[in-house]
Amino acid sequence: MKKVKTGGGWAAVRYALRTARRVGGLGALYRALRSRNTCKTCALGMGGQEGGMVNERGRFPEVCKKSMQAMAADMQPGIAAEFFEKHAIDEMRDWTPRRLEHAGRLNNPVYAGPKDTHYRAISWDEAIRRSTDYLRQSRPTDHFFYFSGRASNEAAFLWQLFARLYGTNHVNNCSYYCHQASGVGLSSALGSGTSTVVLEDLDHCDTVFLIGGNPASNHPRLMGVLADVRRRGGEVVVMNPLRETGLVNFSVPSRVESLLFGTDIASHYLQPNIGGDIALLCGVAKRLIETNAVDHGYIDAFTEGYDVFRASLEALEWETIETESGVERRTIEEIADVYGRSKASVFAWTMGITHHLHGADNVRAIVNLALLRGMVGREHAGLLPIRGHSNVQGVGSMGVTPQLKDEVLRRLESHFGVKVPAVKGLDTLGCIEAMQRGELKHAWCLGGNLFGSNPDSAATERAFGQLESVVYLSTTLNTGHVHGRAGETLVLPVRARDEEPQATTQESMFNYVRMSDGGPARMPGSRSEVEIVAELAESVLGDGGPVDWNAMRRHRNIRRAIAAIIPGFEAIGRIDDTRQEFQIEGRTYHEPRFKTPSGRAKFHVTPIPRFDPVDGALRMMTIRSEGQFNTVVYEEEDLYRGQDRRDIILLNADDMRIMGLDEDTLVLVKSDTGSMTDIRARQAPIRAGNAAMYYPEANVLISRACDAESRTPAFKHVRVWVSRV
């Protein structure tokens, strides 16, 4: 298919109209998007009490293709009663993620036992009874609880509270497979693991470094912010191995001039090798030090570790930097000079930084650059991990982690008069590994697609097969329901955010909490997540203990507990009366006061990873299209890359010529972990020696090797070999 010349634009407008026709018309889609609920997709933040399509700065209209895709999925009809009788589980195993998503909304609990070939619909009474039996008839430490970033703060808090009082700390969330490395890297340098900026800072910065990300496809509303930076004469420096159409030029549909003529986004576009980020960032830092373009006053007053960091760069040879980064010294020096002229820079990144064996060090290398020129601890500058799920940050804030922070633990135990179990909890990858060893027996998945988001798909499927039970809480079908089966598999239909019977809250990547009003249920057979956990907790733990689980069915009561236990969330206890959304206290760094033991920000030495090519191997990264959201695939085509299918590998033209491959030649792609056959070779503007394939399908090639600190797998860097079929 023909690749578009700009992101967004009229293609996005036409897509919106087609989507509207599919879900009942433009009016129906507009009313749904405009309701007083937080956007269901990325964590950029939109909606809430100001109404949908309004961002944290009060701007309207703010909407994107991702918002429409998620809303349309929730507005599709329910799955017919005879569906599961007609389609066997083995048949659905051959379906694409898109076909499963478009099968319709789940409207009844469904169950499959160890010998069942089909799911069958069951009553809610039976579903709750089975769920309760799983909990009562086994040890608490046989269970683990996994949370998607789409869950509300209220559901997340209540589920983790129940899990701990039940007796396990095996509580984790999807951030371990996305931005956990950001939290680790930022915390080690600054004492806090979230964004240091607010949305308003982006309205005043003069330079944005966009590293290892493609928001044109994954966070489209950020493109309006980047377009504004260019409009006021600022710079946008993109670092990405693949030249992305939407990062070169984007037509913002809500802005007439941009829609008509397009807006140049990247003022500078660097294409490093996959895994070459530390070398590139160290090169920029080395140039700044060589030209004395650093802020010595800031460094002396507010940081530590600079002398050791500087010495490491002085010992670093430019030849090593160029070889490992894949970028010429002259280009690196040019970018350093751009940064040297900046008065207010924001550094933003996504999983192209975190999905590496050295993900936490990648983040530290970015922090080092920001500290060199005093860009942390002031207005209009700072650090911005661009998070994916709309409430992934909130889920973490609510304590959905294997180990609670000391202050949260102390407050929780004091507030409820309980003792949390001391047994060590496992992170997400640790739970999968324990499943495979037979050390965990039962899984609880609140949203998301744990199977689909895991590396080494074949081993993950075997790990699920070791379980006695898995309970999924979902709105639609996904690959996990057919590949992530246990001895007994139970899928419970839940309400979408804008269908909740009571208000819920969500936290954006800017540490801003907004309230969603909910609304009428589109699927009469679905239930609220809070209702489900409260009923299970009351059945298993009883109503005479330290927590009144029946009272916790009221979201207001959950919010009062959150206000008392989670630091910075005091205002959530008043939000039912005030309807006042709020910035979380103590997280934004507009002054250089850091939460480290010394009170200073810390420079870190970040060793440069070396890539030794073996027998013609390529570096491969997994990518997402503008037609998907994480593991959810809405459309098979990838408009911005000009691709009409997903069973492809994107290669550099020179690499294709060396391998004797033409466009659409069928190839075998093999890694040390797995292989994929009948994959079509497609030419793309990617640096030679590198390749890209679509996630989650290519997870079969990804090993479980992970960053030792964050335990995040290296989805963005795997060695592969490509050969003709």
Q: Give mean pLDDT, residues 286-307.
A: 98
Note the pLDDT of residue 2.
81
Q: For 15-52, b where at least 16 C-beta lie within 10 A, e where not — what string?
A: bbeebbeebeeeeebbebbbbbbbbbbbbbbbbbbbeb
* Confidence at 46, pLDDT banded by 50, 70, 90: confident
Note the pLDDT of residue 273.
98
pLDDT digits (tens, 9 = 90+) for 104-130: 999 999 999 999 999 999 999 999 999
Three-state DSSP state, 657: helix
Note the pLDDT of residue 62.
85
* Residue 16, CA distances (Å) to 12, 13, 433, 721 in order: 6, 5, 42, 39
Q: Give mean pLDDT, residues 63-86.
A: 94
- Give the Cβ contact number of residue 256 at 10 Å: 9
Between CA 144 and CA 170 the distance in angstroms is 5
Contacts 24+ apart (CB under 8 A), 26-30: 28/75, 29/68, 29/71, 29/72, 29/75
* Confidence at 543, pLDDT banded by 50, 70, 90: confident
Q: In this prediction, what percent of the chain has a pLDDT beyond 70?
A: 100
Domain at 180-386: CATH code? 3.40.228.10
Let me know if 660 is exposed, middle or buried by CB neighbors in 10 A (0-12, 13-18, 19+): exposed
Note the pLDDT of residue 667.
99
pLDDT at 655 exceeding the cut of 90: yes
pLDDT digits (tens, 9 = 90+) for 342-364: 999 999 999 999 999 999 999 99
Q: Give mean pLDDT, residues 79-87.
A: 95
* Confidence at 224, pLDDT banded by 50, 70, 90: very high
* Confidence at 175, pLDDT banded by 50, 70, 90: very high
pLDDT at 1 exceeding the cut of 90: no
Q: Give Cβ neighbours of residue 493 (< 8 Å, ≥ 6 apart).
A: 105, 106, 107, 108, 109, 474, 475, 523, 525, 526, 527
pLDDT digits (tens, 9 = 90+) for 630-650: 999 999 999 999 999 999 999
Residues in the chain: 725
pLDDT digits (tens, 9 = 90+) for 125-173: 999 999 999 999 999 999 999 999 989 999 999 999 999 999 999 999 9
Note the pLDDT of residue 388.
87
Structure tokens at 565: 């236990």
Tell me if 678 sits within 8 A of 647, measured CB to CB: yes
Note the pLDDT of residue 3.
83
The mean pLDDT of the chain is 96
The domain spans of the chain are 7-75, 83-178+391-547, 180-386, 618-724
Note the pLDDT of residue 522.
97
Q: Give mean pLDDT, residues 290-314.
A: 98
Note the pLDDT of residue 63.
84
Structure tokens at 407: 């202050």
Let me know if 201 is exposed, middle or buried by CB neighbors in 10 A (0-12, 13-18, 19+): buried
Structure tokens at 712: 């995040």
Between CA 255 and CA 74 the distance in angstroms is 28
* Confidence at 629, pLDDT banded by 50, 70, 90: very high
* Confidence at 254, pLDDT banded by 50, 70, 90: confident
Note the pLDDT of residue 83.
98
Structure tokens at 503: 């208000």
* Residue 652, CA distances (Å) to 638, 658, 661, 689, 692 in order: 18, 10, 11, 7, 10
Between CA 523 and CA 494 the distance in angstroms is 9
pLDDT digits (tens, 9 = 90+) for 557-602: 999 999 999 999 999 999 999 999 999 998 999 999 999 999 999 9
* Confidence at 183, pLDDT banded by 50, 70, 90: very high
Q: Which amino acid is at 540?
A: V
Q: Tell me the DSSP string of 423-437.
A: SPPP-HHHHHHHHHT
Which among 405, 355, 385, 409 is positioned nearest to 193, based on CA atoms?
385
The domain 83-178+391-547 is placed in CATH, from the list 1.20.1250.20, 3.40.50.740, 3.40.50.1370, 1.20.1050.140, at 3.40.50.740
Note the pLDDT of residue 201.
97
Q: Is the torsion defined by CA of 138, 141, 144, 145 positive or negative?
A: positive
pLDDT digits (tens, 9 = 90+) for 475-489: 999 999 999 999 999
Between CA 498 and CA 512 the distance in angstroms is 19
* Residue 49, CA distances (Å) to 71, 146, 585 in order: 18, 29, 20
Note the pLDDT of residue 613.
76
Write out the H or E segment, with its range, that includes residue 722: strand 718-724
Between CA 394 and CA 586 the distance in angstroms is 15
pLDDT at 411 exceeding the cut of 90: yes
Which among 93, 189, 58, 117 is positioned nearest to 598, based on CA atoms?
189
* Residue 406, CA distances (Å) to 119, 211, 424 in order: 43, 33, 14
Which among 650, 662, 667, 672 is positioned nearest to 720, based on CA atoms?
672
Note the pLDDT of residue 632.
96
Domain at 618-724: CATH code? 2.40.40.20
Note the pLDDT of residue 363.
99
Q: Give mean pLDDT, residues 212-220.
A: 95
Q: Report CA 551 to chain centroid distance, whole Å.
A: 32
Note the pLDDT of residue 614.
80
Tell me if 244 sits within 8 A of 214, measured CB to CB: yes
Which among 497, 395, 474 is positioned nearest to 175, based on CA atoms?
395
Three-state DSSP state, 319: helix
pLDDT digits (tens, 9 = 90+) for 452-479: 999 999 999 999 999 999 999 999 999 9
- Give the Cβ contact number of residue 577 at 10 Å: 8
Between CA 200 and CA 204 the distance in angstroms is 7
Q: Tell me the DSSP string of 323-377.
A: HHH---HHHHHHHHHHHHH-SSEEEEE-HHHHSSTTHHHHHHHHHHHHHHTT-SS
Q: Tell me the DSSP string of 610-656.
A: -----TT-EEEEEE--TTEETTEES-S-BGGGTBS-SSEEEE-HHHH
| β-bridge pairing 666-670 and 675-683 | antiparallel
Q: Tell me the DSSP string of 213-265.
A: --HHHH-TTHHHHHHHHHHTT-EEEEE-SB--HHHHEEE-TTSHHHHHH-EE-
Between CA 121 and CA 110 the distance in angstroms is 4
Q: Which amino acid is at 661?
A: L
Q: Give mean pLDDT, residues 207-229.
A: 96
pLDDT digits (tens, 9 = 90+) for 695-722: 999 999 999 999 999 999 999 999 999 9
CA triplet 500, 503, 508: central angle to 5 degrees?
Answer: 100
Between CA 595 and CA 608 the distance in angstroms is 28
Q: Which amino acid is at 640?
A: Y
Write out the H or E segment, with its range, that includes residue 516: strand 512-516
- Whose tokens are 């990264």? That residue is 621
Q: Give mean pLDDT, residues 426-452.
A: 98
Q: Is the torsion defined by CA of 323, 328, 330, 334 positive or negative?
A: negative
